[in-house]
């Protein structure tokens, strides 16, 4: 076995080197503290592997993303979203029989309990749908407790099937329209669209162009190894917390503007630039000025340092979709112009800042008629199978331990309590 040597306090320590199937290498420090008293410090975990995983492979330098070994480009082109869900969770592409029974299961678990439906009455009209989604997914744990082994498998299906219903109901609540129940004749994507956009008084026509664009978006978001929300799901799951509550924590982590919440912020930023007369330079300059507190939303990534393959697919998909739907959206031209200017600016070039998945996804959501505040909910719907696969992997990992990082304490050293009268 290969090893690395570390000299600490004049003592040489040998640390095993772990190599992944794609040649990624890590120094295994699991015994470092016990043997030396030292810990490692890595705020933001940029150099820390929290687990070994066989689900998703990313090479950030080469712009590679693969689910279970299959390139994202091939899945985006050929797969259905339910095939991708199956692939991520079960580890291999389904056969015809397997996908038929998986789809049937998803179809027959789509409704939510009527008692849960009443929860929606309690939210204010302007509640952000991410807050509603996180709390409704947490509430599923009260309806479907995990008492025995088989409950986990059932709960995985329930969550995959019901989350889109919860998401669509959150939207209907926000616009004051009646909830549309799921219909068993529809596919996963079609059912979500009709629950979002149908109204009881009108027939609803499914547009295959819209359904296909939704399929693509969901697939591109389906997993992304140990990002902030997925690590949160694993962190919460490591205490043996149930699936629903672990995923609810992931939804909360995703909401932040540095993570999935960026897709909403991108469109808000592009609208601001449009209202400001398309003054791109001003915004690029603001992003370069550290004192401005402004960042180009949808730019930059912890892992991708060349291009984000998902953004590349979405850029050409947004062109094609807008053409097919006959929509001319000024946001797309603004996004392209902004990208062009930023990618030719030394600040962005030196820091390897490229558009990420959130930069173009909002343009497509807009074209599909999805309101801005629902964008991060759409991301969560796509990411769900990834969260579940990662949670399962953690549960099944041999020797998995509760996640419990350490710290370097920098506060006061020992001092006594001073009574209030003497302070
Ligand atoms: N605009 C301007 N400058 C940026 C941006 C940006 N969008 N992103 C990074 N930088 C700068 C940083 O200020 C830093 O500069 P410095 O080296 O002079 O200090 C340098 O580039 C490196 O950036 P870090 O913040 O260290 O990179 P990190 O890996 O910690 O953060 C992140 C990555 C959070 C994605 C960051 O690029 C960012 O905030 N982007 C905007 C928000 C966004 O689009 N988030 C979505 C990410 S994708 C996803 O979660 C699905």
361 burial via Cβ count (<10 Å: 0-12, 13-18, 19+): buried
266 CB near ligand 1 (under 6 Å): no
Question: pLDDT by residue (tens digit) across 32-83?
Answer: 999 999 999 999 999 999 999 999 999 999 999 999 999 999 999 999 999 9
pLDDT at 247 over 90: yes
Distance 299 CA to ligand 1 centre (A): 7
Tokens matching residue 291? 């004192």
By C-alpha distance, which of 172, 175, 85, 167 is closest to 131? Answer: 167
Closest approach atom of ligand 1 to CA 359: 44
CA 154, CA 146: separation in Å to the nearest integer?
9
The single residue listed with the structure tokens 């969901």 is 218
357 CB near ligand 1 (under 6 Å): yes
Beta-bridged to residue 5, according to DSSP, are 14
Within its chain, how far is the Cα of 88 from the centroid?
Answer: 14
Distance 149 CA to ligand 1 centre (A): 41
Q: How many CA atoms lie within 13 A of 108 on its CB side?
A: 6
Beta-bridged to residue 7, according to DSSP, are 12
Confidence of residue 148 (pLDDT cuts 50, 70, 90): confident
120 CB near ligand 1 (under 6 Å): no
Model pTM above 0.85: yes
The residue whose CA has the least distance to atom 45 of ligand 1 is 258
Confidence of residue 92 (pLDDT cuts 50, 70, 90): very high
Contacts of residue 291, defined as CB under 8 A and 6 or more positions apart, other chains included, come to none
Question: pLDDT by residue (tens digit) across 299-328?
Answer: 999 999 989 999 999 999 999 999 999 999
Right CATH for 262-368 from 3.40.50.300, 1.10.357.10, 1.10.230.10, 3.30.2320.80: 1.10.230.10
CB environment 271-301: b (16+ within 10 A), e (fewer): eebeeeeeebeebbeebbeeeeeebbbbbbb
Query: What confidence score (pLDDT) does residue 278 get?
Result: 87
The residue whose CA has the least distance to atom 20 of ligand 1 is 351
CA 145, CA 139: separation in Å to the nearest integer?
10
Which DSSP helix (H) or strand (E) runs through 59? strand 56-59
Say if CB 230 and CB 238 are below 8 A apart.
Answer: no
Tell me the mean pLDDT in the region 211-225: 97
The residue whose CA has the least distance to atom 10 of ligand 1 is 300
pLDDT at 1 over 90: no
- Helix or strand or coil: residue 28? coil
- Catalytic residue IDs: 301, 358
Say if CB 386 and CB 357 are below 8 A apart.
Answer: no
Query: What confidence score (pLDDT) does residue 149 get?
Result: 80
Right CATH for 81-256+379-396 from 1.10.132.20, 3.10.50.40, 3.40.190.10, 1.10.580.10: 1.10.580.10
220 CB near ligand 1 (under 6 Å): no
Tell me the mean pLDDT in the region 89-118: 97
72 CB near ligand 1 (under 6 Å): no
Question: pLDDT by residue (tens digit) across 323-372?
Answer: 999 999 899 899 999 999 989 999 999 999 999 999 999 999 999 999 99
Alpha-carbon distances, residue 245 vs 40, 240, 360 (angstroms): 30, 10, 30
Tokens matching residue 201? 């008084």
Right CATH for 3-64 from 3.40.50, 2.60.40, 2.30.30, 2.20.28: 2.20.28
High-pLDDT (> 90) share of the chain, %:
94
352 CB near ligand 1 (under 6 Å): no
Distance 302 CA to ligand 1 centre (A): 7
Domain ranges of the chain: 3-64, 81-256+379-396, 262-368
Closest approach atom of ligand 1 to CA 356: 48
Mean pLDDT of the chain: 95
Within its chain, how far is the Cα of 200 from the centroid?
Answer: 32
CA 65, CA 219: separation in Å to the nearest integer?
12
């Amino acid at each position: 076995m290969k090893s690395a040597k570390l000299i600490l306090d004049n003592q040489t320590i040998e640390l095993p080197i772990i190599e992944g199937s794609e040649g990624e290498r890590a120094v295994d420090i699991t015994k470092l503290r016990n043997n030396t008293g030292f810990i490692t410090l890595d705020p933001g975990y940029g150099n820390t592997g929290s687990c070994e995983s066989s689900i998703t492979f990313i090479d950030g330098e080469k712009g590679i993303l693969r689910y279970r070994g299959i390139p994202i480009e091939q899945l985006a082109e050929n797969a259905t979203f339910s095939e991708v869900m199956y692939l991520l969770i079960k580890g291999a592409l389904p056969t015809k029989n397997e996908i038929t029974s998986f789809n049937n299961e998803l179809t027959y678990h789509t409704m939510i309990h009527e008692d849960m439906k009443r929860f929606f009455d309690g939210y204010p009209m302007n509640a952000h749908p991410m807050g509603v989604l996180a709390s409704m997914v947490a509430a599923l744990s009260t309806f479907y407790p995990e008492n025995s082994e088989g409950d986990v498998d059932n709960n995985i299906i329930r969550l995959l099937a019901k989350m889109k219903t919860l998401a669509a109901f959150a939207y209907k609540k926000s616009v004051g329209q009646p909830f549309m129940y799921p219909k068993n004749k529809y596919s996963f994507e079609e059912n979500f669209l009709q629950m979002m956009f149908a109204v009881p008084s009108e027939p609803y026509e499914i547009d295959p162009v819209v359904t296909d664009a939704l399929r693509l978006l969901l697939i591109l978001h389906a997993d992304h190894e140990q990002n902030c929300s997925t690590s949160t799901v694993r962190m919460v799951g490591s205490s043996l917390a149930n699936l629903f509550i672990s995923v609810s924590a992931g939804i909360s982590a995703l909401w932040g503007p540095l993570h999935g919440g960026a897709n909403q912020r991108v469109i808000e930023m592009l609208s601001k630039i449009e209202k400001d007369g398309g003054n791109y330079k001003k915004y690029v300059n603001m992003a370069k000025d550290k004192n401005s507190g402004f960042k180009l939303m949808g730019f930059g990534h912890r892992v991708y340092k060349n291009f984000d393959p998902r953004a590349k697919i979405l850029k050409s998909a947004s062109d094609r979709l807008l053409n097919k739907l006959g929509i001319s959206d000024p946001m797309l031209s603004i996004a392209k112009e902004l990208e062009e200017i930023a990618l030719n600016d030394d600040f962005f070039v030196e820091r390897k800042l490229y558009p990420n998945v959130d930069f173009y996804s909002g343009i497509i959501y807009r074209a599909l008629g999805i309101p801005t505040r629902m964008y991060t909910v759409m991301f969560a719907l796509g990411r769900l199978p990834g969260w579940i696969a990662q949670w399962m992997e953690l549960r099944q990992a041999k020797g998995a331990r509760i996640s419990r990082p350490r710290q370097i304490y920098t506060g006061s050293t020992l001092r006594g309590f001073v009574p209030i009268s003497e302070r």
